[in-house]
Amino acid sequence: MGIEKIPVEQFVQLSQKHTVIDVRSNAEYAHAHITGASSIPLFNDEERAIVGTIYKQQSREEAIKKGLDFFGPKMKEMLLTAEGLIKEKDPDDKTVLVHCWRGGMRSAAVAWLLDLYGFKVYTLIGGYKSFRNWVINELSKNHPFQILGGNTGSGKTIVLQSLKNSNEAVVDLEGLAGHKGSAFGNIGLPKQPSQEMFENKLAIAIRTEQEKYPNQKIWLEDESQRIGTVNIPQSMWVHMRTCEIVFLDIPFSSRLKYLVETYGTLDWVALRDAILRIKKRLGGLETKTAIAALEEKNIHGCFEVLLKYYDKQYRKGLENRKEPKPNIITVSADSVKDIENAREIIKINNGRN
């Protein structure tokens, strides 16, 4: 069917519909990759190092010869793996996208094999490196964001999910980061993605929502720049701080109840360690009070101390935005409810447009 080299914009668009195969080494893929791509390494980490050394110290031709020593015995296995992935995504699809680091010999070799077998193959001009440039460019744009704000325990994440279910454009920053925010956000969750992988997922998520809802603003949760171990890219975060905020205003008691129900069953030691991590900002007395309540299994009392601290931090973050200050629309609710509060937000928002 042929091999066609395509630019990154077209590659990203086609990646939403077709199987993407990343032929870089295991370590390269594990660090970060294009969202949704599957790993079928042409060379493992050791083999890649050997071929690279020969390329630098001897010649391109000798590197290719050595590469063929590694590639030859793997050809059938790689073909069968690729075929399985493609059929799993769509049994009737005969299209596959392949890329390596720079769009050079590794992707060309695997593309040749898949083309020989009968697939329509697209390779990425410039490889993963060009994709990363695309990601950085996308995240530096002033996209049409709308920020969902609210004090800790307002249920912003579940409201965002309900907004998404109501056909609103939504990007879940905490979901992409693998972290629920605050010092307690990683308890019980897998290891977070690398910074690079977080950015890759974020750029793809924004583009996906834009293509699905071209005339809508994209909802984002009001976040600190740092979400656990990853950061919202500086230019994007600065832009977010200028965007209109829809502030979900819920009473302290309702938010405290929600937090106790949500986090009260988490590991006691993990909760204590999380409190100690914010000791400097929380203050010595409040830290002792919170931990004492935790040790007495008084989760309500422990979280009451913490919630007062986070409310103070959130107010500070809201007030510290630079001029011109973003417009803030307040939506009041009696309790933390995903569907009902999302409906009220949509109602008020639509009434203004």
243 has catalytic annotation: no
- Produce one character per residue of 214-249: b if its CB has 16 or more CB atoms within 10 Å, e if not: eeebbbbbbbeeebbebbbbeebeebbbbbebbbbe
Q: In the prediction, which pLDDT does 267 show? A: 84
Q: In the prediction, which pLDDT does 349 show? A: 80
For the domain made up of 3-136, the CATH class stated in words is alpha beta
> What phi-psi label fits residue 257: left (phi over 0), alpha (psi between -120 and 50 degrees) or beta?
alpha
3-class DSSP assignment, residue 137: helix
pLDDT tens sequence across 249-307:
999 999 999 999 988 888 888 889 989 999 998 999 999 999 999 999 999 999 999 99
Q: Is the pLDDT of residue 353 over 70?
A: no
Mean pLDDT, rounded, for 342-351: 87
Q: Which of 12, 23, 32, 100 is catalytic?
A: 100
pLDDT tens sequence across 29-66:
999 999 999 999 999 889 889 988 998 899 888 888 88
Domain positions in the chain: 3-136, 142-352
Exposed, middle or buried by CB within 10 Å (0-12, 13-18, 19+), for 92?
A: exposed
Q: Does the domain at residues 142-352 carry the CATH identifier 1.10.150? A: no
Helical (H) or strand (E) element with 100: none
pLDDT tens sequence across 185-208:
788 789 999 999 999 999 999 999
Helical axes 338-352 vs 156-165, angle rounded to 10°: 70
Q: Are 201 and 179 in contact (CB under 8 A)?
A: no
Tokens of 267: 């590991």
